[in-house]
């Protein structure tokens, strides 16, 4: 493996997904983000948290499914629309409650598959799809899903809680397969028993309620280290990570592994004394968990490999979210 | 006014919006509608209600904005995306908590207007837009919004609670204007003081918590009588309504009035002894409220006008939701 090539590949992968448009949205909508005075977190978390009193918060998130995924494999698009939303709630230490969707349908032939994928996703995660809106005579195919969850206010896992001196942990279910049509889709749920899949969501609530992590995020489109960088930016810290400590399925090369969207995977930070308990709890549910590095003050994400060391992201030079500019 | 022509116009208006595709969605997703055992209501309400214990329910709804509205007036599309969602929660007697959106953007030039419309809608109703998902390089424009609210389990207003012998009430803010570009958009909020607009949402919580209505629904795309028919179908009853009792702004002809999507308007049912209190409470906030008819056993919606009487909808012949087939 050429370490420098890997670093370049990861930088460019996340760089491509950076969109200036997102800045415009967050800037404009930021004006009304907390207009009611009940919103707890800032933009940039996996879900928003709204205080409803009695130490309870409502979590709310939305995800759109990539149009091309719908065309190539509508069943898998429907299934993944559930998975990505459930993981957003799990990452916050919350219980997923229900989803709604909006569908625009151009090709009637993809319709049955799309719906069946949604149904099978709901069954796998035991979260209902309770309604939505249909544009039946659309000129395009699109599927957007929103999810609501519930959590305890005092035990929320957020992106912004990492502190200098904390350890960085990566938890990935390494028992899976690259999806035959989408190599970057590390599927760990489809062929797995639904009880175990649901327990992987529940154990996140358990470590949250035991106040074990200081921060956390589910590994999504930006891959393992891109997701970590987003967490670092939200927390206003940096990290130094050892590449070879990151749990990996040895059948998948590093470059694909680190860019993959896994079915069940989280980056977490925690005080050193809590790491073993996190590892023990998550390991019981098919997660491969390891301490992979340290949180540092300098706002850079360093990646180490043997004697080599590179700056993967620098919040002054190539941040992902640009939230600190 | 030709009464028979009006009846035909209303039947065809709602008829056109009926989509067989919706049947497929409700049938397929119905399988996982209450997979978690916590979902209280059936499909067909303005929002879904999920039991979270302690007499609290989470309300969840989603609405997509019509693509053409986005092209003609993106600002208004953004504003309305907030309005329609807030009304879904108000109709259930709930408090709107927060929204998320998914935007697909083709034309960059509509973008600023769309976002500003959303911001102004959030300010008007004091409900935050807390996040979402952006497809920036889309081949089309679309805006989907989901909303979450909270309500008391024992005082939820649903579509399914109307009983034979109840009175039918229509509450519409008649102080408004036909939108200059969209005649069927009866705008009552844009030029109105935000305190009053927010009070119109809150008074629905008040009548819900006083257990005054037996059922209710916000008047939306199917218009006043189409919305009532949806309520009747969900409740498994019929109604007999007197046309001229329906509150109306005299500047708008009946045919346009009954097909309009009003900014603040509800159909309600209630026991006769509770009607005056509903009228009194809603009238304090710019609603024009009247008892317009009776709930009957026969599953038909009769419309009376002077000596004339017609069957507007029959659940056996031309239902809107087809839920009872």
> Which range is least confidently modeled, A12-21, A111-120, A259-268, B39-48?
A12-21
More confident residue, A101 or B276: B276
Angle at A184 between CA A182 and CA A189, to 5 degrees: 80
**HEC profile for A207-223?**
HHHCCCCCEEEECCCCH
More confident residue, A266 or B324: A266
Q: Among residues B169, B178, B250, which one has the least CA distance to residue B207?
A: B169
- CATH 3.30.1330.10 for domain A36-153, yes or no, is yes
Mean pLDDT of B78-94: 96
ipTM summary value: 0.88
DSSP codes of every residue in B255-322: HHHHH-EESSEEEEEE-HHHHHHHHHHHHTTT-EEEEEEEEESSSEEEEEETTEEEEEEETTTS-SS-
Cβ of B29 within 8 Å of Cβ of A127? The answer is no
Distance from CA of A41 to the nearest CA of B (A): 9
Contacts of B135 in chain A (CB under 8 A): 64, 66-67, 142
Strand order in the sheet with A56-65: A48-51, A56-65, A142-152, A95-104, A129-135
Distance from CA of A86 to the nearest CA of B (A): 14
Structural domain boundaries of chain B? 3-17+157-314, 33-154
- Angle at which helices A20-30 and B111-125 cross, to 10°: 30
Q: Quick one: CA torsion of B191, B195, B201, B202, rounded to 10 degrees?
A: -170
- Residue B17, pLDDT above cutoff 70: no
Rg (CA), chain A: 19
Residues 119-178 (A) with a CB less than 8 A from some CB of B: 119, 122-123, 126-136, 138-140, 142, 144, 146, 148, 150
Per 3-state DSSP, what percentage of chain A is helix, strand, and coil (rounded to 5)? 35, 30, 35
Kindly tell me the burial class for residue B266, based on how many C-beta atoms sit within 10 Å of its own C-beta (0-12, 13-18, 19 or more). buried
Categorize the per-residue pLDDT at A137 as very low, low, confident or very high, splitting at 50, 70 and 90.
Answer: low
How much is the mean pLDDT over chain B? 91
Helix (H) or strand (E) holding A89: helix A74-91
- Residue B140, pLDDT above cutoff 80: no
Query: Is A34 an interface residue toward B (CB < 8 Å)?
Result: yes
Cβ of B24 within 8 Å of Cβ of A115? The answer is yes
Neighbouring C-beta atoms of residue A245, cutoff 10 Å: 15
More confident residue, A220 or B211: B211
pLDDT in the model for residue B325? 41
Query: What are phi and psi for residue A208, nearest 5 degrees?
Result: -65, -45
d(C-alpha A227, C-alpha A219), whole Å: 6
More confident residue, A238 or B66: A238
Query: The tokens of B294 are what?
Result: 């009776």
Q: Quick one: CA torsion of A198, A204, A208, A213, rounded to 10 degrees?
A: 180
Q: Quick one: CA torsion of B230, B236, B241, B245, rounded to 10 degrees?
A: -60
Q: How far is CA A181 from CA A23, A69, A142, A178, in A?
A: 32, 10, 19, 8
How much is the mean pLDDT over chain A? 91
- Residue A324, pLDDT above cutoff 90: no
Neighbouring C-beta atoms of residue A302, cutoff 10 Å: 19
- Residue B89, pLDDT above cutoff 80: yes
More confident residue, B18 or A180: A180
Contacts of A111 in chain B (CB under 8 A): 21, 24
Which own/partner pairs from B306-311 qualify as long-range (CB within 8 Å, at least 24 positions apart)? B306/B3, B306/B244, B308/B3, B308/B4, B310/B3, B310/B4, B310/B7
Domain B33-154: which topology? 60s Ribosomal Protein L30; Chain: A; (3.30.1330)
Mean pLDDT of A205-216: 98
Cβ atoms of residues A148 and A224 within 8 Å: no
Question: Which of B98, B108, B147, B221 is the best mutation test for A, with the most CBs of A within 10 A?
Answer: B98
Mean pLDDT of A17-29: 67
Residues 235-274 (A) with a CB less than 8 A from some CB of B: none
> B266 forms bridges with which residues in the sheet?
B171, B218
Categorize the per-residue pLDDT at B33 as very low, low, confident or very high, splitting at 50, 70 and 90.
Answer: confident
Cβ of A150 within 8 Å of Cβ of B52? The answer is yes
Query: The tokens of A71 are what?
Result: 């065309």
Kindly identify which residue of chain A lies nearest to residue B18, measuring between CA atoms. A136
Which CATH architecture fits A3-17+157-314? Answer: Alpha-Beta Complex (3.90)
Cβ of A119 within 8 Å of Cβ of B31? The answer is yes
Kindly identify which residue of chain B lies nearest to residue A135, measuring between CA atoms. B64
Q: Among residues A285, A273, A269, which one has the least CA distance to residue A232?
A: A269
Q: Which of A28, A36, A56 sits opposite B119 (nearest CB)?
A: A28
Residues in chain A: 325
Angle at B105 between CA A20 and CA B118, to 5 degrees: 90
Categorize the per-residue pLDDT at B324 as very low, low, confident or very high, splitting at 50, 70 and 90.
Answer: very low
Contacts of B33 in chain A (CB under 8 A): 128-130
DSSP codes of every residue in B274-289: HHHHHHHHHHTTT-EE
Query: Is A221 an interface residue toward B (CB < 8 Å)?
Result: no
- Residue A320, pLDDT above cutoff 60: yes
Mean pLDDT of A95-116: 87
d(C-alpha B194, C-alpha A314), whole Å: 44
DSSP three-state, residue B123: helix
Query: Is B67 an interface residue toward A (CB < 8 Å)?
Result: yes
Per 3-state DSSP, what percentage of chain B is helix, strand, and coil (rounded to 5)? 35, 30, 35
Contacts of B70 in chain A (CB under 8 A): none
More confident residue, A230 or B320: A230
Distance from CA of B234 to the nearest CA of A (A): 15
Q: What spatial distance separates the first Cα and last Cα of chain B, rounded to whole Å?
A: 34
Q: Among residues B103, B241, B225, which one has the least CA distance to residue B172?
A: B225
More confident residue, A158 or B325: A158
Q: What spatial distance separates the first Cα and last Cα of chain A, rounded to whole Å?
A: 34
Q: Convert B94-121 to b/e letters by CB count within 10 Å (16 or more is b).
A: bbbbbbbbbbbbbeeebbebbbbbbbbb
List pLDDT tens digits, range B245-256.
999 999 999 999
Helix (H) or strand (E) holding A257: helix A254-259
């Amino acid at each position: 493996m050429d370490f420098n090539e890997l670093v370049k590949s990861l930088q460019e992968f996340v760089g491509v997904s950076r969109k200036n448009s997102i800045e415009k949205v967050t800037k404009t909508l930021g004006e009304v983000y907390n207009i009611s005075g009940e919103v707890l977190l800032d933009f940039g978390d996996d879900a928003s948290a709204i205080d409803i009193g009695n130490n309870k918060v409502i979590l709310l998130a939305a995800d759109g499914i990539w149009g091309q995924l719908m065309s190539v494999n509508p069943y898998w698009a429907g299934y993944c629309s559930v998975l990505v939303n459930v993981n957003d709630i799990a990452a916050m230490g919350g219980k997923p409650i229900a989803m709604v969707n909006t569908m625009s349908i151009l090709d009637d032939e993809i319709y049955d598959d799309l719906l069946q994928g949604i149904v099978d996703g709901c069954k796998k995660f035991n979260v209902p799809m309770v309604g939505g809106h249909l544009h039946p005579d659309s000129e395009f195919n699109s599927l957007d899903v929103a999810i609501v969850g519930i959590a305890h206010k005092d035990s929320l896992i957020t992106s912004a809680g990492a502190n200098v001196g904390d350890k960085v942990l990566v938890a990935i279910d390494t028992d899976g397969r690259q999806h035959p049509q989408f190599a970057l889709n590390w599927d760990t749920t489809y062929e797995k028993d639904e009880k175990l899949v649901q327990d992987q969501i529940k154990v996140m609530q358990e470590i949250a309620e035991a106040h074990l992590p200081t921060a956390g995020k589910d590994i999504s489109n930006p891959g393992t280290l891109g997701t970590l960088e987003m967490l670092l930016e939200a927390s206003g810290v940096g990290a130094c990570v050892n590449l070879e400590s990151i749990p990996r399925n040895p059948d998948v090369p590093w470059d694909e592994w680190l860019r993959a969207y896994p079915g069940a995977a989280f980056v977490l930070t925690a005080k050193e004394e809590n790491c073993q308990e996190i590892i023990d709890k998550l390991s019981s549910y098919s997660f491969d968990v390891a301490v992979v590095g340290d949180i540092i003050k300098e706002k850079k994400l360093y990646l180490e490999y043997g004697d080599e060391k590179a700056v993967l992201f620098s919040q002054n030079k190539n941040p992902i979210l640009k939230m600190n500019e």
